[in-house]
């Protein structure tokens, strides 16, 4: 069994931002040499998410509005976590809503995604450099 590890780096410019990383994950799969296996894609930050969905700007707006309604940023005093001097409790909650990571099938040396499926990094406490782990196992 082969194993391959790579980190994808992104720099987010907004506090909440969705970054399409499908091509970069596909490139990692190609470099791994794995023909049949699994690919774990995991944000290495506790205020971020990796998920699979449609690449449609209206949906990104809806995700941002939905998560903000469920876990509003302000007032920051509403969150016990923020009593530590942080102001990102809402980002931790938004990450929980969107999920931590995704595991993708690899078939014939490529991601086995549905017709409209794309891989995204969702950031909820951004405006800085971030890392995404890609771990691939298989034959």
Whichever domain contains 108, its CATH number is 2.60.120.460
Q: What is the pLDDT of residue 89?
A: 98
- State residue 24's pLDDT score: 98
Chain segment 40-80, per-residue pLDDT in tens = 999 999 999 999 999 999 999 999 999 999 999 999 999 99
Q: Which residues contact 108 (CB under 8 A, 6 or more apart)?
A: 35, 36
**CB-based burial label for 94 (10 Å; 0-12, 13-18, 19+):** buried
Strands (DSSP E) contained in 24-128 are 37-43, 48-53, 102-107, 110-111, 118-123
How many Å separate Cα 75 from the centre of its chain?
26
Domain of residue 89 covers: 2-138
| Residue the block writes with tokens 């040499």 | 33
Distance CA 15, CA 28 (A): 27
Compute the chain's Rg from CA coordinates.
Answer: 16
- Look up the pTM and report it: 0.96
Query: What is the tally of structural domains in the chain?
Result: 1
101-120 per-position pLDDT tens digit = 999 999 999 999 999 999 99
Residue 22 CA to residue 4 CA, distance in Å, equals 17
């Amino acid at each position: 069994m082969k194993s391959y590890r790579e980190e994808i780096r992104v720099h987010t410019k907004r506090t909440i931002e969705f970054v399409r990383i499908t091509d970069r994950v596909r490139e990692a799969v190609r470099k791994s040499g794995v023909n049949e296996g699994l690919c774990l894609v995991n944000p290495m930050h506790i205020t971020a998410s990796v998920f699979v969905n449609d690449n449609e700007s209206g949906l990104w707006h809806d995700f941002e509005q939905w998560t903000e309604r469920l876990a509003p940023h302000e007032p920051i005093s509403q969150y016990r976590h923020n009593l530590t001097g942080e102001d990102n409790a809402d980002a931790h909650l938004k990450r929980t809503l969107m999920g931590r990571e995704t595991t993708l099938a690899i078939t014939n040396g490529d991601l086995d995604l549905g017709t409209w499926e794309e891989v995204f990094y969702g950031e909820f406490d951004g405006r800085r450099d971030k890392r995404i782990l890609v771990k691939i196992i298989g034959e």
